[in-house]
Chain A
């Protein structure tokens, strides 16, 4: 089955750049979505269709997708960005949405 692999954790200092990867064979051929989830809250969509940002999401959040890796980049990281982040794709072969394993971002 399709498995989206993310690093369990990423640590970043305030003001620096965090990069969260989402890996699977040929993920570049799929549309990738990214969610931010803070403790006790519902997920928030931060990037969809690889690079698009929903209304209200800061420009500091950006996405890319090529080859076997999709990446969520958070520039000028703030304390409020500390959260779990999940990638998601639609896997056509198995006909279902797949979420990544999740990455906990810690702001130092």
Chain B
């Protein structure tokens, strides 16, 4: 059964870089044709898409975050990662990783991690 698990620091200081990893079990990132995604949700607010990455490293990002986001994939560890630079309090959110329901781009997110809360504070 497919399982996604986010990990990383729960507290990041303003102006620093947020780094999270999503570990995938039950599926092989390199053996699939899915675009794996990151989505976040500020406390008490709605969902905000961050970006998606393919096993080859091909990415596409939310234009509003593009200048600060970098995603990468480590197929040997079956993980993909998110880095968000120059964070502010507005980046405080629960961060989810997810896999779409069908391969290819632009598809609905079906399997989600449990989410991890990242607070930006000094």
Binding site for B on A (CB under 8 A): 31, 33, 35, 42-45, 48-49, 54, 86, 88, 90, 94-102
- Contact A96:B63 (CB < 8 A) given known A45-B101, A49-B108, A54-B101: yes
B96 / chain A contacts, CB cutoff of 8 Å: 42-43
Taken residue by residue from 36 to 79, chain B's Cβ proximity to chain A (1 for < 8 Å, 0 otherwise) reads as 00000000001111000000000011110000000000000000
Taken residue by residue from 100 to 113, chain B's Cβ proximity to chain A (1 for < 8 Å, 0 otherwise) reads as 01000011111011
B61 / chain A contacts, CB cutoff of 8 Å: 96
B47 touches A86 (CB 8 A): yes
Number of interface residues of B (CB under 8 A): 19
A95 touches B101 (CB 8 A): no
A-B CB contact pairs (8 Å), 5 listed: A31-B106, A35-B47, A42-B115, A48-B110, A88-B108
Q: Which 4 A-B pairs have the closest CB atoms?
A: A33-B108, A48-B108, A97-B49, A42-B112
Interface centre among B61, B106, B114 (most CB of A within 10 A): B106
- Contact A96:B62 (CB < 8 A) given known A48-B101, A54-B101: yes
| Selected contact of A86 from candidates B46, B60, B110, CB within 8 Å | B46
B110 touches A45 (CB 8 A): yes
B47 / chain A contacts, CB cutoff of 8 Å: 35, 43, 86, 88, 99, 102
Bound Cα distance A86, B60 (Å): 22
A42 touches B114 (CB 8 A): yes
| Selected contact of B48 from candidates A42, A45, A95, A99, CB within 8 Å | A99
Bound Cα distance A36, B48 (Å): 15
B63 touches A45 (CB 8 A): no
A31 / chain B contacts, CB cutoff of 8 Å: 106
B63 touches A95 (CB 8 A): yes
A95 / chain B contacts, CB cutoff of 8 Å: 60, 63
B108 / chain A contacts, CB cutoff of 8 Å: 33, 45, 48-49, 88
Bound Cα distance A31, B107 (Å): 9
